[in-house]
Structure 1
Amino acid sequence: MEMSQHHHPDSLLNVMNADRRRKPYSNPSSSTHSSKASLIMAFISCLAWLYVAGRLWQDAGNRALLSNLLQKSSRNLPRVVTVEDKLMDLGCKEIGRKIVEAEMDLTLAKSQGYLRHNSSSSDPRLLAVIGAYTGFGSRLNRKRFRASWMPRGDDLKKLEESGVVLRFVIGRSPNRGDSLDRNIDNENLKTKDFLILDSHEEAGEELPKKVKFFFSAAVERWNADFYVKVDDDINIDINGLIEILKSHHDRHGAYLGCMKSGAVVSEEGKPWYEPDWWKFGDDKSYFRHAAGSIIILSNSLAHYVNVNSASLKSYAHDDISVGSWIMGLDASYVDDDRLCCSSSRQEKVCSRA
């Protein structure tokens, strides 16, 4: 009994010691610091969340405001109006379609020779329109021509009444409206014997195109059986030329002149050089064409030049250019040596001035 009483306190003490050995040592001060750090981190996290949420809320508000402004602005912007919309608003869509059809009909009529500028169906048909080339520096030549073979004043009017129109042909200055243009306009006011080609620039490099502008302008202004281009360095026997034209009055598609052909000059720098020489084949030979001094086209051929002038190729020389245009057509070539100005034949109608 005593032994058991003395043994119990020892056992309890042993148990308490063992329990102390199992529990780790804890510092009260360390626990306090950990709690404070946790609170600080939680507070910072809360602030960060509030900041991010505020920015998101602000951005959403800005986007909504910008969207409203864009919608209001788009409603106030003018709508782009197309030609189709305008025609619909005016009720002119059908009229526009008819205008297009009318333009197509006009083009067809022009190609068939029914339309002429500044003329009417009641105008008498002329025998010929003769265009004598001239330039800004050729005033003395024009005076000499008027004093010799070219009628003036009342005689010019009588010639027109007989069916032949005769005009000096000239383009416009490269500097439009300068003294060159004004001098020609003033001279024309006195003599009234010019055909001024407003679409043509009177310059050396543009000379091959002049014949195209002449035929087109003459066809649109006068209705004639023939259209005659004449160089500015020859004298013309008007009566003899009229007789030749009358003899071919009924010939359709007539192409008249002093016909020739010859070698193409391919060496740059030489007279009559042709930059497009390679287009004339390995033999480098020109096709048959009326020499440059006098070129005569019938009504139908001149109309062809007028209608297709925009697409017709001009070579270095105007007589070659005209010959290339006619070569592919069903034309009647009339080679008359009376139209060869360098010929020795007595009955010729032209001679070098």
Structure 2
Amino acid sequence: MESLPTTTTKVERRWRSKPLQTSKPSLLLAFFSCLAWLYVAGRLWQDAENRTLLATLLEKNTSQRPKVLSVEDKLTVLGCKDLERRIVEAEMDLTMAKSQGYLKKNQLQQSGSSSVQLLAVIGVYTGFGSRLKRNVFRGSWMPKGDALRKLEERGVVIRFVIGRSANRGDSLDRNIDEENRSTKDFLILDGHEEAQEELPKKAKFFFSTAVQNWDAEFYVKVDDNIDLDLEGFIGLLEHRRGQNSSYIGCMKSGDVISEEGKPWYEPDWWKFGDEKSYFRHAAGSLLILSKNLAQYININSASLKTYAHDDTSVGSWMMGVQTTYIDDNRLCCGSIRQAKICWDSPSLTVVSNSVSR
């Protein structure tokens, strides 16, 4: 009978010890759960505080600015509206000034008679290897030295027109600069690269530069392989005084060469239709533009399309404006007519052949 309490006591001890062993993992799980809950609750509280702060700032800013900003309001805020207006006005003034023949003070006539309009500026195309040709010109129809200055007093400026070497500042450029210091009869196109394939662009540079430097009634392009009856040519121009929008020369059209590799090949041949014929244009050996047409080239030079040849390029520019075409047979230098003002020069051909050898 006394052993029963002892047995009962052992059973109770076993029963009490088991819950104590299984409760440790539960306590740890509960502890970590509390930590996780506290972390999440803290983040939620912090996010709520941030949202409240941002909402307050947004409400404050929106109360100080208009809800919708127009383009005009934005320009006003940025201080650009007045600047934009002044830029537009300046561009309009510049375009108007160019169209009216405005000349900068440092681009007045090089002849020295800035108060009197010249009759003509004659640009004689030349190249780096054409010094002998230039000397032939200076000894024939083209005056030199004091005679050239006296001709300018009569209102006619003559200049050899040349660009710059592809290797700027090399011996080619230095030789031209040295020759110009001696003769003072060059118009050097600093922005143009002198090359045979760049002749159409040379026409843009020449007319643009000439109209900026001299105020004349006519601007003339002459090739370096012809002779010119200068007095007869001046008489022709005198007769044409006051004829605005005049495009004067030996007018022709001619076939468009579409076969690559042939002489006078035109890469844009497909633009000239099925007949493949050029539009009417003055032959490239000698062509004349009145002042307003030269100004048109100057103003729009950046957007004017050039073709393979300079004469057809000039002719294409004249098609877009109100131009008076004047076909003068006396300017057909290669013809056999007796009454003509220019002609192909055999002496220049001989010089050209000797230079090529």
The TM-score, its normalising length taken from structure 1, stands at 0.77
Does residue 101 of structure 2 align to residue 114 of structure 1? yes
Once the 2 structures are TM-superposed, how far is the Cα of residue 226 of structure 1 from its aligned partner? 0.6
What is the CA–CA distance in structure 2 between the aligned matches of 1:340 and 1:187, rounded to whole Å?
31
> 2:249: which partner in 1?
257
1:115 alignment partner AA: Y
User: Partners of 1:231 and 1:62 in 2: how far apart?
Assistant: 86
Q: Distance in 2 between matches of 1:57 and 1:188?
A: 90
Cα separation, partners in 2 of 1:172 and 1:62, compared to 1, 3 Å: farther
Partner of 1:75: none
CA distance 1:87–1:143, shift in 2 (3 Å) = farther
Match of 1:349 in 2: 341
Encode CA deviations 1:270-320: one digit per residue, 9 max, x unaligned: 111111111111111112111110011111211111112112111101111
SS in 2 for 1:39: helix
Q: Which residue of 2 aligns with 1:299?
A: 291
Q: Secondary structure at the match of 2:207?
A: helix
2:18 corresponds, among 3, 22, 34, to 34
Amino acid at match of 2:98: K
Q: How far did 1:175 drift? A: 2.4
> 2: CA distance between counterparts of 1:34 and 1:204?
109
2:115: which partner in 1?
123
1:174 match: 166
- Whether 2:218 is the aligned partner of 1:226: answer yes
Is residue 274 of structure 1 aligned with residue 263 of structure 2? no
Aligned twin of 2:62: none
CA shift in 2, pair 1:45/1:207, >3 Å:
same
Report the secondary structure of 1:103's partner residue.
helix
Please, what is the CA RMSD of the aligned residues?
A: 3.1
Q: Name the CA distance, whole Å, in 2 between partners of 1:61 and 1:314.
A: 73
Determine the C-alpha separation between the residues in 1 that align with 2:224 and 2:314. 18
Contact 2:101–2:295, Cα closer than 8 Å, also in 1: no
State whether structure 2 residue 272 is matched by structure 1 residue 285: no
Q: Which residue of 2 aligns with 1:76?
A: none
In 2, Cα distance between the equivalents of 1:266 and 1:325? 21
Structure 1 stretches of at least 4 aligned residues deviating more than 6 Å after TM superposition: 53-63, 82-86
Deviation at 1:28, TM superposition (A): 4.2
- SS in structure 1 of the partner of residue 22 of structure 2: helix
- Of 232, 238, 253, 1:246 maps to 238
* Distance apart, 1:95 and its partner CA: 6.4
Question: Structure 1: which 5+ runs fail to align?
Answer: 1-25, 64-81
Q: Counterpart of 1:348 in 2: which secondary structure?
A: coil
Query: For structure 1, which segment, 41-50 or 315-324, has the greater mean C-alpha deviation from structure 2 after superposition?
Result: 41-50
Distance 1:143 1:35, change over 3 A: same
**Post-superposition offset of 1:261:** 1.3
Structure having the higher Rg: 1
Say whether 1:197 aligns with 2:184.
no
Aligned pairs, number:
308
| Larger mean Cα displacement after TM superposition, 33-42 or 247-256 | 33-42
